């Protein structure tokens, strides 16, 4: 459905409000609608989730620029809240990075993060990450900032140095990326509370943190993270993992029992789902403008 520009706060306005921006991950447009319906102020277009739902594979740099930006456009059509999108490594050299920025601007997302991994990249939670030099990534980020021009797109400099080489290098890179002029920095691959605390103490300014299910960091609340000085918290896989388990449980019950009856209490009703996808608005338009 078409959205009205300015009808919801922009990401910049949210950041100026002072409260931490909670952005659950959405792997598709339907999940993005659920995030908005739940009352969250922003949504995160997770590359991990996009890869899972489009390709059914791990997040190992298999998604192309075109696939990711198309995914972003589909999501932007579905919601009015700001979208923070994964832009991987920018998909190539300076010309590729400039095109990536332009494509995401046209898609209507509010922010993208660009990471310092060597291609082919992989999920920040996985072992075996290889990094480009910090200096090379500074040039990449400056290229993205230049390509943005005056477009209302925030650039987030992401480093995956934490799992690859440790906290000291991750913090050094985050500061370099701030000096390059990015709007926020994001140290990914954090698995321990101590790592979050180290980043919070050492890195001033606007910063992003990702809380990944299964790690001890889920003990920290959004309020805790705000007090540490984080501006945005991403919950990249919470909805995806929840949905995958629910689907698996329903299919196992259907296979074993020959009916989905026992799983109905865990499902949305047809009416609830129709509300989620805004069926009534489509019917109203057909009734008003349709022809026989």
- Chain-centroid distance, C-alpha 243: 17
The verdict on whether 123 is a catalytic residue reads yes
Which listed residue (15, 42, 111, 123) is catalytic? 123
DSSP assignments along the chain, one per residue = ----TTSS--HHHHHHTSS-EEEEEESSHHHHHHHHHTT-S-EEE-HHHHHHHHHSS-SSS-S-HHHHHHHHHHHHHH-SS-EEEE-TT-SSSHHHHHHHHHHHHHHT-SEEEEE-BPSSP--TTSS---B--HHHHHHHHHHHHHHHTTSS-EEEEEE-HHHHH-HHHHHHHHHHHHHHT-SEEEE----SHHHHHHHHHH--SSEEEE--TTSGGGGS-HHHHHHHT-SEEEE-SHHHHHHHHHHHHHHHHHHHHSSSGGGGGGSPPHHHHHHHTTHHHHHHHHHHH---
The label of the residue with tokens 């921006």 reads 21
Active-site residues, by number, are 123
């Amino acid at each position: 459905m078409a959205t009205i520009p300015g009808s919801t706060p922009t990401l910049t306005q949210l950041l100026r409000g002072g409260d931490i921006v909670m952005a659950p991950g959405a792997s598709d447009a339907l999940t993005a609608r659920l995030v908005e319906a739940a009352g969250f102020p922003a949504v995160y277009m997770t590359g991990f989730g996009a890869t899972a739902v489009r390709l059914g594979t791990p997040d190992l740099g298999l998604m192309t620029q075109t696939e990711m930006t198309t995914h972003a456009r589909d999501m932007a059509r579905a919601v009015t809240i700001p979208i923070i999108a994964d832009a991987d490594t920018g998909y190539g050299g300076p010309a590729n990075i400039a095109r990536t920025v332009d494509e995401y601007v046209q898609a209507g997302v509010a922010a993208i993060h660009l990471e310092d991994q060597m291609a082919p990249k992989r999920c920040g939670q996985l072992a075996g990450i290889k990094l480009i030099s910090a200096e090379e990534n500074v040039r990449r980020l400056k290229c993205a900032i230049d390509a943005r021009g005056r477009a209302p797109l925030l650039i987030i400099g992401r480093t995956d140095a934490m799992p690859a080489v440790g906290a000291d290098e991750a913090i050094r890179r985050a500061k370099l990326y701030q000096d390059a002029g990015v709007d926020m920095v994001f140290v990914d691959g954090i698995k321990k509370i101590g790592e979050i605390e180290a980043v919070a103490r050492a890195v001033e300014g606007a910063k992003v943190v990702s809380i990944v299910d299964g790690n001890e960091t889920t003990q920290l609340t959004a309020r805790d993270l705000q007090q540490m000085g984080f501006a945005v918290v991403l919950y990249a896989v919470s909805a995806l993992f929840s949905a995958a388990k629910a689907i698996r449980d329903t299919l196992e019950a259907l296979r074993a029992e020959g009916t989905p009856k026992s799983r109905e209490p865990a499902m949305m009703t047809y009416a609830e789902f129709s509300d989620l996808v805004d069926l009534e608005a489509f019917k109203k338009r057909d009734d008003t403008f349709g022809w026989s």
